[in-house]
Structure 1
């Protein structure tokens, strides 16, 4: 008999009866392994994994092994439908976490994949020469190293500034619609004024060719006039938001400002701006875009599922209406 097999094989029903009989005869695991023609580790693993409450039983051990193999086969089974969903969703800029969350809403149990499984599929595709990995939202992203910054930057340029620490507590709870975060996304020859609802992550954006406080205020008033709820707006400390009093008077929304360089106080807006940068990088000439192109990009953003929304899109969370995206 060979003491070791080069490749692990599943034990047969006959071998399990043999193991059972040899154990009843009082033989050691090493001796049983030699008689059965398998390694000692195989015997040890078998006795640990396939033992029932009544001890080791060859019939019960076979049932446990068969059930485990069926579960593994089901988990590893590739479905062309899920591969298509992954490919098309990545093409839309969805992250594996977003894809997984959306599958939880629209797909049956067998076709729901975890984000780790999706990452594994992408890795397998890369090993086979595929390019799915280049579709990952953060593929090739370079990170800023940081540096010294003036803690009160921009504050003096904003009259009647009210700090975000004065906001009502309900704003931090994200329990209602109408609490917005605003910023300016700079581009070549133009910029985007952006607003993001803190609860639904619904995004609004409007281009301005000048970064004057008047032009930015006009854009904020226009965008807030299109939504059904504008309760508060938390802004960056840039001087372009210095005309905030006029925005508040026209829209009825209370204006607040985050602390300088405390981007986490407008984390929703910062995350959204990063998503917009995937469409239009910093050196992109925003002036060359048609207004329809900008609104199409924002529409795609609002139809991207979010893990933080349990797989819903910002549009669905903001309007309360569901749409089918992957099925």
Structure 2
């Protein structure tokens, strides 16, 4: 009798499972239930490390899941209907079979049809050892692999549509005569998330939503030239889709290489904002603008960690500009983790500059200060103690709660454009700009200037016999 090679016997066992040979998974990936739990935690706003630890996988695995999926859940987060065997049921089957329990008894104990158990043992058993051995982890992996229904991306199968999307997303900027403007020489794309203050290749840079809606205008009768903006984002963010190159994310307005879950972006630590300094605790008199002395503040940010502090009085719209020079050693010594901030608007430097500006005002005109949630004012308790000005913080992502300051910052951008180094302006320069802004007539003030209204407030405080409140 001819001897049969061991490899052939192993292949026969695979053939008897009625399934084509599968590549060895090594250590099979975690079940879909674990992956769903991971992506639910990501959607709740926790970090990748925290989500990985919570579901029992290593942080490199969790990081790889997040990076390869572009920050987008690659699977449905809906729970299975129960039609198919779960991982827990497969573990129960493996335990019972190891105890020698028959197929019908296994089916009776887990509440399934005997045919379901028979097919499961035949199809998803591990055959690497030469004979079928049922292991829950391998069975779950085989079931997940067989359940995949790979679908060719629309941009992959439709070359005309793909070319249209690429041309509108990454096409060159052209002059009126049609010649291409090369723009700056951009650094090589490294796949990092949202490059800051680097030259980027000039591109047409239509957004995916603009491309999606413009297709209906350019091709009203061609239904093949249709794609949703979400499908374009997925082709850009998810590795393995293959339709669009990942480098094209640099043509998006934000330049992000990963999609950031909304809950995560809103879940930034803000330990300096306690319950007694939120906006709802601010005195009601600050809202109606009738009583002077209530201020709104923020920073105008420039390049190279440069910034200018802005303070606006809500009643008179009077503006004060706070000079925030870089500290000694900036740009000379390498930054130290958790070390002092030398950029000019660290907590200590911010407190010193704000205190110097606010203490020039009478006590009656520095009642409260409303700031956004930036950490530059994390030392607000000491600032309130030094100036007598109570500090309150607006709600996250709510610029309308500081409308006067936001409007004034827009006016100031005429003098301090975005993307410029603001440290080049001296304290005298800022004083001159503040003088110009305060002497512009305002419609909200009956065409008076903020300087005139502020002078009236000061004169009313200096009149004898006029009662004031601290």
Structure 2 counterpart of 1:207, from 293, 303, 323: 323
Q: Distance in 2 between matches of 1:154 and 1:182?
A: 21
| Contact 2:303/2:421 (8 A) holds in 1 | yes
Q: How many angstroms does 1:154 deviate by? A: 5.2
1:156 and 2:271 equivalent?
yes
Structure 2 counterpart of 1:176, from 291, 315, 338: 291
1:264 match: secondary structure:
helix
Structure 1 counterpart of 2:402, from 266, 270, 281: 266
Please name the residue that 1:226 is paired with.
Answer: 360
The superposition leaves residues 213-254 of structure 1 with CA deviations (integer Å, 9 ceiling, x where unpaired) of 111111111111111210001111001110000110011111
| Contact 2:294/2:315 (8 A) holds in 1 | yes
2:413 match: secondary structure:
helix
Please name the residue that 2:413 is paired with.
Answer: 277
| Contact 1:153/1:260 (8 A) holds in 2 | no
Could you say if the C-alpha distance between residues 243 and 231 of structure 1 is closer, same or farther in structure 2, counting changes exceeding 3 Å?
same
| Contact 1:234/1:256 (8 A) holds in 2 | yes
Q: Distance in 2 between matches of 1:230 and 1:247?
A: 12
Please name the residue that 1:196 is paired with.
Answer: 312
Could you say if the C-alpha distance between residues 153 and 272 of structure 1 is closer, same or farther in structure 2, counting changes exceeding 3 Å?
farther
* Pairs within 5 Å for 1:86-101: none
Q: How many angstroms does 1:310 deviate by? A: 1.1
Could you say if the C-alpha distance between residues 226 and 286 of structure 1 is closer, same or farther in structure 2, counting changes exceeding 3 Å?
same
RMSD of the alignment, in Å? 2.1
The count of corresponding residues between Structure 1 and Structure 2 is 177
Structure 2 counterpart of 1:253, from 386, 389, 392: 389
Structure 1 counterpart of 2:282, from 167, 170, 180: 167
| Contact 1:154/1:238 (8 A) holds in 2 | no
| Contact 1:155/1:161 (8 A) holds in 2 | no
Please name the residue that 1:73 is paired with.
Answer: none
* Pairs within 5 Å for 1:1-327: 148=262, 150-153=265-268, 155-158=270-273, 162-189=277-304, 190-208=306-324, 209=326, 210-228=344-362, 229-320=365-456
| Contact 1:217/1:241 (8 A) holds in 2 | yes
Q: Which has the larger radius of gyration?
A: 2
| Contact 1:158/1:241 (8 A) holds in 2 | no
Q: Which runs of 5+ in 1 are unaligned?
A: 1-143, 322-327
Q: Distance in 2 between matches of 1:152 and 1:270?
A: 23
Which one has more relative contact order, counting CA pairs under 8 Å at least 6 apart? 1
Q: How many angstroms does 1:159 deviate by? A: 5.5
| Contact 2:273/2:393 (8 A) holds in 1 | no
Please, what TM-score do these two structures have when normalized by structure 2?
A: 0.36
Could you say if the C-alpha distance between residues 294 and 167 of structure 1 is closer, same or farther in structure 2, counting changes exceeding 3 Å?
same
The superposition leaves residues 300-325 of structure 1 with CA deviations (integer Å, 9 ceiling, x where unpaired) of 0111111111101111111129xxxx
Q: How many angstroms does 1:153 deviate by? A: 3.7
Please name the residue that 2:62 is paired with.
Answer: none
Q: Distance in 2 between matches of 1:263 and 1:222?
A: 26
Q: Distance in 1 between matches of 2:290 and 2:271?
A: 32
Q: Which runs of 5+ in 2 are unaligned?
A: 1-252, 255-259, 327-343, 458-470
Return structure 1 stretches of 4+ with deviation > 2 angstroms.
147-161
2:277 match: secondary structure:
coil
